Amino acid sequence: MKFEGIYTPAITPLAADGSIDKAAFAEVLEYLVESKIHGVIIGGSTGEYYAHTTQERIELAAQAKDVLNGRLPLIVGTGGIRTEDAVAFAQHAKEIKADALLVGTPPYALPTQQEIALHVKAVDAAAGLPIMLYNYPGRMSVSMGEEFFDAVADVKNIVAIKESSGDMAQLHRLAIKRPNIQLSCGWDDQALEFFAWGAQSWVCAGSNFIPREHVALYEACVIEKDFAKGRKIMAAMMPLMDFLEGGKFVQAIKNGVALNGLKTGGVRKPLYDLDDAEKAELKRVVTELKATIALIK
């Protein structure tokens, strides 16, 4: 499987009682299809998987498969502290005929490099689907290093990695030493650098609400190979990147989606929504970003 383009880790809308709003979730997916992104990820950090029950995650994945109905690739996140849980999510993804898995390091447990490799291999054995690795030490506390990549070199289903360490040296090492693993940008304000180093895709939460602008950067850098244009688009996006890194990431993404008239229902605890001043600032940033990028040729 080739990962090319913009892959959106979809948000999970909530109803007034805190339950998952399935009708609103379907609307979110339809919006993404209409926006011509290139794939959808369910069960990612932006989708608040960590705040969902096992049953909720299974039902969301199944609904996403039904709604998308082959119009976009579906990648299912298998995140979990226990390998047994990740395996169960992978098995369900196989049952619903998902296109690929997102497989990260189990959080909190602090596994060794060999233990991360065994975790990935167990998930792979359970589903046999293409795998996009997910390296996010900021949340998992452990990074996928050279020992890990050596240990999984025989796993043929590993085709890509969402690299979210923020470590530019890690990007360089992957591009040079692991050319068989497709690079996908997982650190938004480094998108331009990822594309320069050969990445063909970008997993970006912001594409939940400004998908066309994200697609524009991808097309400038990867399709048109016009990095002068890409730098202009990236410069226009940087105020949003800075806002998103202000400590309320998922809250900001969901409020961005609400700006488009879609239902989001806030976030699950322990998180709380943006305050009025933050919402107003996000709206200002997004409005200016759209206006600026629309003028870039």
Could you list the residues known to form a binding site for pyruvate, using ranges: 46, 203
Of 168, 160, 241, whose CA–CA distance to 206 is shortest?
241
Alpha carbons 55 and 71: distance in angstroms, whole number: 25
Can the peptide bond before residue 270 be classed as cis, meaning omega within 30 degrees of 0? yes
User: Two tokens at 279?
Assistant: 């919402």
Enumerate residues 6+ apart whose C-beta is below 8 A from 41. Answer: 7, 8, 9, 10, 47, 75, 76, 77, 102, 203
Alpha carbons 233 and 219: distance in angstroms, whole number: 11
CB atoms within 10 A of CB 178: 15
Residue 134 annotated as catalytic: yes
Q: Which residues are known binding-site members?
A: 46, 203
Give the length of the chain: 297
State how far the alpha carbon of 2 is from the alpha carbons of 42, 158, 197, 229, in Å. 18, 11, 17, 25
* Identity of the residue numbered 12: T
Residue 162 annotated as catalytic: yes
Q: Of residues 121, 162, 232, 248, which has the active-site annotation?
A: 162
For residue 253, the surrounding DSSP H or E stretch is helix 249-259
Q: Of residues 7, 31, 134, 218, which has the active-site annotation?
A: 134
Report the catalytic residues.
Answer: 134, 162
